[in-house]
Structure 1
Amino acid sequence: MANNVSQEEAMRRISVTTEINAPAEVVWAQLTDTATFAEWNPFMPRLTGSLTVGARIEVRITPPGAKGMTFRPTVTAAEENRKLEWLGRFLVPGLFDGRHTFTLTPTATGCTLVQEETFTGVLVGLMSSTLAKTEAGFRQMNEALKTRAERAAA
């Protein structure tokens, strides 16, 4: 029983879903145009590197009400107009890992964007307040991406 409890504490998922009135292709174009992030993205103002599987990228996040941080995850999925994912680790695997995913699903009026991160590791339980601010950052980014993509599609 104790093992189940500690495993529960060692994982946390944040997921924010946003309906966007623009085709997945338009949303994908905005999401992967990382050179423009500073212009519109309040949560992730900088992302550099190649969005190809196996590439290391550099990501700067600025959650609302929290100190910003830069990390260097590895891209684990890049399926055009559908899915972008990376895995970041703090120091060593199992300490504090984050698998960040953007998923686009076509709908009758555009697409659904799900931005999600699954955090695992022994430090997850100590990061509750930071993770709550991260969720607020996901909401800000999704809304900004929605606005930008809907303008581009108009």
Structure 2
Amino acid sequence: MKEIRTQIIINANVNKVWAILTDFDAYPNWNPFIKYFKGIPREGNRIEVKMVPPNSKGMIFKPTILKFVPNKELRWLGHTFISGLFDGEHIFELIYNNDGTTTFIQREKFYGILVPLLKNSLDNTKAGFDEMNKKIKEISETNL
């Protein structure tokens, strides 16, 4: 298993950050990493997501929503080709800080027999997380 984890402090309340994160129709307008998100984010539902890390053509995944807890967590599990080859559990977590800020955590756990072979290419994925984190922070802190 390999995990990528990023986080950023956003000077906005958790409700505002969650509203931006879950306005999936707006992703093409602002999100540099997840170009689109199609489907209803309800536990058990399959969605379609296009992720484009920097210096990459990107990939389309059809993961299953594992968890959708408003203002707290969105989690899905996707597979590349066959389950067990290269699986990714993508997690967004929002933590309300008592000072009015939100800690936005984005991480992914990678599993499967191809993980050791693809480990070096995951640096682009981390860069994509960082770009998205900076952009959601910028948007959330606008017009407070």
TM-score for both structures, normalised by structure 2: 0.96
Deviation at 1:109, TM superposition (A): 3.2
Q: Which 4+ stretches in 1 moved above 4 angstroms?
A: none
Deviation at 1:130, TM superposition (A): 2.1
Indicate the residue corresponding to 2:103 in structure 1.
112
Name the SS for the 1:67 alignment partner. Answer: coil
Question: For each residue in 1:96-128, what CA deviation from the matched residue of structure 2 results, as whole angstroms up to 9, or x when unmatched?
Answer: 110000000011131101000000000001112
Cα RMSD for the two superposed structures = 0.9
Q: How far apart, CA to CA, are the structure 2 residues paired with 1:66 and 1:128?
A: 15
Question: For each residue in 1:60-103, what CA deviation from the matched residue of structure 2 results, as whole angstroms up to 9, or x when unmatched?
Answer: 01100112110100000000000000000112221111000000
**1:81 corresponds to 2:71:** yes
Q: Which letter does structure 1 place at the counterpart of 2:133?
A: N
Aligned length: 143
Higher helix share: 1
Which runs of no fewer than 5 residues in structure 2 stay unpaired? Answer: none
Indicate the residue corresponding to 2:47 in structure 1.
57
TM-score for both structures, normalised by structure 1: 0.90
Larger Rg belongs to: 1
Indicate the residue corresponding to 2:25 in structure 1.
35
Q: Which letter does structure 2 place at the counterpart of 1:64?
A: P
Which runs of no fewer than 5 residues in structure 1 stay unpaired? Answer: 1-10
Percentage of identical aligned residues? 41
